[in-house]
Amino acid sequence: MTKYTPIIGLEVHVELKTNSKMFCSCSADYFGKEPNSHTCPVCLGLPGALPVPNKTAIDWCIKISLALNCKINEFSKFDRKNYFYPDLAKGYQISQYDLPFGYDGYIELSNGKRIGITRVHMEEDTGKLSHQELHGGKVSLIDFNRSGVPLVEIVTEPHFHDALEVKEYLQKLQQIVRYLDVSNADMDKGEMRLEPNISLSKLSNFNPATDGKISLEKLPKYKVEVKNINSFKFVEKAVNFEIKRQEEILESSKLPAQETRGWDENRQKTFSQRSKEDAHDYRYFPEPDIPPIITTKKQISTLLESVPELADKKAARFEQDFSLNSYDAEILTREKSLADFFEEAVKKNQESGIRNQGNIDPKTIANFIINKKINISQITPTSLISQIASSKQIATIDEKELTKLIEDVIKEQPKAVTDYKNGKEASLMFLLGQVMKKLGKKVDTSIIKDSLQKKLKA
Amino acid sequence: MDIKQLTIAQTLQDLRDKKYSSTELTQAYLKRIKQVEPKIHAFITVTEEEALKHAEEAGKKRSKGEELPLLGIPIALKDLYVTQGIKTTAASKVLENFIPPYDGTVVQKLKAAGAVIIGKLNSDAWAHGGSGENSDFGPTKNPWNTGYVPGGSSSGSGASVAADMTLVAMGTDTGGSVRLPASFCNVVGLKPTYGRVSRYGIISMASSLDTVGHLTKTVEDNALVLNITAGHDEHDATTPPVPVKNYTKNLYKGVQGMKIGIPKEYFSEGIDPEIKTLIENALKILEKQGAELVTLSLPHTKYANPAYYIIMPAEVSSNLARYDGIRFGHDRSQFGEEAKRRIMLGTYALSSGYYDAYYKKAMEVRTLIKNDFDKALENVDVIIAPVSPTPPWKLGAKVNDPLAMYLMDIFTITANLVGVPGLSIPIGFVDGLPVGMQIFGPHFSEDVLYQVGHTYEQENPLYQKKPNL
């Protein structure tokens, strides 16, 4: 394929959905609000105003760290990152430098590869600039509603080797913060922002599948960072574009420039934004307005206990406990609310099962939820169970009749049976229709379908 | 009424006794300001209208039987105190026209205690300086000799109290900015423990060193004000929830059996011999009152100045970054020479490649100095030292030599690096110019400093001496 191995790392910013901002009591719910209506002396950086850290945001940052298998710095602190930009009210961003809340964790991809998490740290968002025409002149307006909204930055090791790994990691990360209920991580609203850094390594005998981690000295001499991408699809495209672009440069015996680039969705390419020469010296130093943050082992274990069972574990348990296949288990656990609904339904069913002796198989419940695309906001687990029960009742009572009808149809329609066995899927639906016709009742077709398939395979 | 003779305690008594009303009192102070301000230039803004309004309200409250700790007491604020609706300049042209939309915590507390704000005081711009000469609005003069500096940076604070233009002047102390003007103006100045008084709504100079103090005529007055300003503030993360003491409680307890440490490093080279003699005399008075004098060593003192002049400008460079002229105020071209000097020094010290050699090293030195104090204060109750190595100097004498000016902080900056409280009290005069000494104690020991200071003041009530204006 190619003699270069892409070396990719990721920085992801996740906006927390705390009630108030990171360092003041202004509402953090800024999206779509009247500009500068959620501001105060602190987030406007007025003279004399001081930051007071949001305890909940810190707890959530630590929770994210724990969910990402990170170690926690029991002694942590905030630092100032000094740079000038009109949307940065104080002339510095309060962030964390050498002692982030979380460090040294990982996310495991479906192929078993672990993507190392270097650090998880807490910082504040900036205001938002918009460049407009006003009264015939060009102006830049600043909305400080977003200024000071809590941000968690999650930085990975350069462990990715293709865009698909990046995408899966991002989906998992988004799922985790949603499971933790600390961020909506809605890409469209900028609640999750992605910055891949990409370079190509000319590694001989390098097998990305087995050599997941490469030592630092083997890293390429340059790094291209693509800033603030707001969709998984764009990140995939940007990574693939960069791999191709850099390969071409390397093939012409040049070294790609160390720089920051942006993704232009219209032109489907990355473009240079800032070169190495323009790189900031952020002059980090400990934030003197905020004392160090001490997190005790006890506090950490309390936070760890509050981390819910995450999707991967939950799916594995569903497979184990409810005999679901991995596909169904994965669908049911994509969102925590759906997984909870399913489990509640299973529980309700068990409770009703004791009374009615009509126990429904969890797999049936899972199928029902998935196949019927149940909208869990419109039905309770209990009424779902009675729905399934009533549809199941018909099937149970008529099981012998159903078997007979299926056998009749198979005899009557030898051509369709042969077609199906030769791989014509549509014939199954025809046969199903014939059975339904004979049955003359409304029943759960999935049950007929299952029985029909079983008979046809026999 | 003779406002020159008034103290807070006396004034409160007079107001209670209806000897005069709070309006009459405020009018008397406004009159005094009009009279001497042209000579002193202690104020940037005199808030006559608001002051009279608040004085009238205070009078109404009192007539209704309401009693507040500072009800009707005139007070002036260094112009680094953010005041809602009242221009707040930090004595810099950058904020020449800045009218804040909020009151800081201490201002709120003082207002709630019934104090009447009569104006905003001059200082070195952004509190950068030890003489008051760095004000962008002209220097304040020393009331004891208007050809001399009043000390800074809280220059207007020291001068206004000394010239009886206010009963209380609020200041800030980052490296001696309350204690130096107190010493140079024959008034009492407190630099509280770091974190004892909220910094919220005080324009930051160097956040890890900044403290919010005040200047008064007497030690008792000083304690009365700290009773109001001290305490944890939910808007300042560096104010721990340490219980607030009643600071007037131990004033009359004396110093019998108390151990007073004399750090030898503060009395060696560079100190004016007349100041040394004045302190020795003061120590004799305390010894006579039953205190035991113990010579001790603070060996890392000589590194305090270099460490301070790394840490302070580093934080200054970051704290001044918000003055970009975008949301308020003028742009950066309006920064004065000293502010620019500190921005450059600090930016350099924090730059990549220099951080370890400068800022980090300075923070390590800071720890060593703190260890010195912790160790010394295990064996003594308080430490006494000079405030300044020299008496007040002539206006203009050091303006072209920033380094010489920086060296005047040598005895005051340690308390800021360590975080301990320091109280400057008047002990005498050299050539008609005031001299003070400072009393240090452990963190949150302001009550003990007042106890020592008050004991001395009883024996030598220098506040009764008045400048000729």
Q: Check if the beta carbon of residue A18 is closer than 8 Å to that of residue A60.
A: yes
Q: Among partner residues B102, B350, B359, which is closest to A41 by beta-carbon distance?
A: B102
Q: Most distant CA pair in chain B: distance in Å?
A: 66
pLDDT tens track for A240-275: 999 999 999 999 999 999 999 999 999 999 999 988
Q: Check if the beta carbon of residue B30 is closer than 8 Å to that of residue B76.
A: no
Q: State mean pLDDT over A307-334.
A: 94
pLDDT tens track for A32-51: 999 999 999 999 999 999 99
- Give φ, ψ of A346 to 5 degrees: -60, -40
Catalytic site residue B333? Answer: no
Cα dihedral A117/A223/A149/B319 (nearest 10): 120
Cβ separation A285–B314 shorter than 8 A: yes
If one counts every other C-beta atom within 10 angstroms of the C-beta of residue B83, the result is: 23
Q: Does A47 touch chain B (CB under 8 A)?
A: yes
Check whether A314 has a pLDDT greater than 60. Answer: yes
Collect all residues of chain B within an 8 Å Cβ-Cβ radius of residue A80.
318
Q: Check if the beta carbon of residue A22 is closer than 8 Å to that of residue A122.
A: yes
Collect all residues of chain B within an 8 Å Cβ-Cβ radius of residue A45.
322, 327
Shortest CA distance to B118 belongs to which of B154, B164, B155, B150? B164
Q: Does A255 touch chain B (CB under 8 A)?
A: no
Shortest CA distance to B469 belongs to which of B1, B46, B4, B30? B4
Q: Check if the beta carbon of residue A47 is closer than 8 Å to that of residue B82.
A: yes
Residues of chain B where predicted confidence (pLDDT) is lower than 50: none
Sheet holding B422-430, edge to edge: B43-46, B116-121, B74-78, B168-173, B211-216, B188-191, B422-430, B433-440, B382-386, B259-263, B292-296
Q: State mean pLDDT over A148-176.
A: 97
Instruction: Give Cβ neighbours of residue A96 (< 8 Å, ≥ 6 apart).
Output: A76, A77, A78, A79, A121, A122, A123
If one counts every other C-beta atom within 10 angstroms of the C-beta of residue B348, the result is: 15
pTM of the model: 0.90
Cβ separation B203–A48 shorter than 8 A: yes
Sheet holding A79-82, edge to edge: A92-95, A79-82, A285-286
Cα dihedral B65/B68/B69/B74 (nearest 10): -100
According to the model, what pLDDT value does residue B203 have?
Answer: 98
Catalytic site residue B21? Answer: no
Decide the pairing of beta strands A285-286 and A269-275.
Answer: unpaired
Q: Does A45 touch chain B (CB under 8 A)?
A: yes
Total residue length of chain A: 458
pLDDT tens track for A351-379: 776 555 457 888 889 988 998 888 888 89
**Burial group, residue A127, by CB count within 10 angstroms (0-12, 13-18, 19+):** buried
Check whether A211 has a pLDDT greater than 80. Answer: no
For B313-340, the DSSP string reads: HHHHHHHGGG-SSSSSS--GGG--HHHH
According to the model, what pLDDT value does residue A206 have?
Answer: 58
Shortest CA distance to B55 belongs to which of B43, B71, B34, B76? B71
- Give φ, ψ of B462 to 5 degrees: -65, -20
Collect all residues of chain B within an 8 Å Cβ-Cβ radius of residue A90.
321-322
Hey, what are A275's tokens? 């070169």
User: What region, left, alpha or beta, does residue B138 occupy, with left being phi > 0 and alpha being psi -120 to 50 degrees?
Assistant: left
Q: Among partner residues A48, A284, A290, which is closest to B204 by beta-carbon distance?
A: A48
Cα dihedral B396/B182/B209/B374 (nearest 10): 130
SS3 state at A211:
coil
d(CA B72, CA A269): 70
* Higher pLDDT pick, A387 / B161: B161
Please identify which residue in the block is written with the tokens 């890409």. Answer: A187
Q: Among partner residues B81, B235, B237, which is closest to A53 by beta-carbon distance?
A: B237
Active-site annotation holder among B21, B123, B153, B157: B153
Helices (H), A76-162: none
d(CA B10, CA A177): 63
Q: Does A85 touch chain B (CB under 8 A)?
A: no
d(CA A90, CA A84): 9
Shortest CA distance to B377 belongs to which of B460, B449, B466, B426? B449
Q: State mean pLDDT over A385-402.
A: 69
Catalytic site residue B78? Answer: yes
**Burial group, residue B190, by CB count within 10 angstroms (0-12, 13-18, 19+):** buried
Q: Which of residues 336-395 of B touch A (CB under 8 A)?
A: 347, 350-352, 355, 359
According to the model, what pLDDT value does residue A357 have?
Answer: 44
Collect all residues of chain A within an 8 Å Cβ-Cβ radius of residue B324.
84, 86, 91
Check whether A156 has a pLDDT greater than 50. Answer: yes
Collect all residues of chain A within an 8 Å Cβ-Cβ radius of residue B212.
none
In what helix (H) or strand (E) does residue B229 lie, and over which residues does it extend?
helix B219-229
Active-site annotation holder among B21, B78, B131, B217: B78
Percent of chain A, pLDDT > 90?
Answer: 67
Cα dihedral A427/A432/A437/A443 (nearest 10): -160
Instruction: Give Cβ neighbours of residue B464 (< 8 Å, ≥ 6 apart).
Output: none
Q: State mean pLDDT over A76-103.
A: 97
If one counts every other C-beta atom within 10 angstroms of the C-beta of residue A396, the result is: 11
CA-based torsion, B225, B230, B236, B238: positive or negative? positive
Q: State mean pLDDT over A184-197.
A: 96
Compute chain A's Rg from CA coordinates: 28
Three-state DSSP string of B92-105: CHHHCCCCCCCCCH
pLDDT tens track for A1-32: 468 899 999 999 999 999 999 999 999 999 99
Facing residues of B167 across strands?
none
Rounded to a whole number, what is the distance in Å from the CA of B85 to chain A's nearest CA? 14
According to the model, what pLDDT value does residue B353 have?
Answer: 87
